[in-house]
Chains A and B, each alone.
Chain A
Amino acid sequence: MDIGQPKRIIEIEPVTLPVPGEVVPDADPAPHPDREPTPARPEQRVP
């Protein structure tokens, strides 16, 4: 099969992999939908 001459290179890092059940290893975990946001600790609060 002849696909002709190369034209360009594309570096593709998909946000989600197009493979059933696979996840991108470096992706941030999604927040749990039922979980309350964690309150900031007292020393982190802005006065």
Chain B
Amino acid sequence: MKPHGTTLDGLPTDVASEPIIAWRVWALTGRRDGSDLLLRPVARRARTWQPRQVVEASCRSSRWHEAPEPLCTCGLHGTHGIEVLRKTKGPAVLGRVALWGRVIEHQHGFRAQFAYPQRLRLICQFCFWTTGARREAPRHVGWFPRGEMMPICDEHLAVARRHDVFPRSLVTADEVAQRLRDIYAVDALAI
């Protein structure tokens, strides 16, 4: 990586020819039979990530700058490690993401101009919040109204049942995971 200079904000700039590979989580949407799967940022109003297409950042706060901008929070996010992602609301998929174009490196992650997923794994969000990503992969994916897909393990499915928060339908997680990898043409994430 070549040092390049500094910006008006005082940030040093470098030039590189290899994408950065970072950690990221997504929400997942689809039909109740597990078809038409799409990755979606966990921020609800953000656009879905279309399969086999470069994802380009835009800023919802300002039309006057290109994303990512150093003084804004815009851009496609990735993190150095998994731990910081455990505070995310409603994660369904954990993965490695390639970031390129203009990338701003932060203390714990990145904001990028372009991105595409590289490896994906379904996660039970309750296991992820409580114990991290090293638990067994979830066995089910629940479907909720408005197409929200929630991978869930046996233990937390039983808890959801007891609290009357039960998905409208359930599909096999292995089937959804394979379909998701085929749609985006990526590999499985092994942890």
Contacts and interface: CB of A to CB of B under 8 A. Distances in A.
Interface of A: 1-15, 17-22
Given A3-B110, A10-B102, 10 more contacts: A2-B84, A3-B109, A5-B106, A6-B106, A8-B13, A8-B14, A12-B99, A12-B101, A13-B100, A22-B53
B19 A12 contact: yes
A15 B53 contact: no
A45 to B, nearest CB: 36
A26 to B, nearest CB: 13
Interface size class of B (residues with CB under 8 A): 35 or more
Contacts of A13: 15, 17, 100
Interface string B88-110: 10000000001111111111111
Nearest to B53: A19
B26 to A, nearest CB: 13
Contacts of A12: 15-20, 99-103
B12 A8 contact: yes
Contacts of B130: none
B79 interface: yes
Interface of B: 1, 4, 7, 9, 11-20, 52-54, 70, 77, 79, 84-85, 87-88, 98-111, 116, 118, 184-186
Contacts of A6: 9, 11, 70, 104-106
B108 to A, nearest CB: 4
Given A9-B103, A14-B17, A18-B118, A1 B77 contact: yes
Identify which of A7, A15, A19 gathers the most chain B CB atoms within 10 Å of its CB. Answer: A19
Contacts of B118: 18
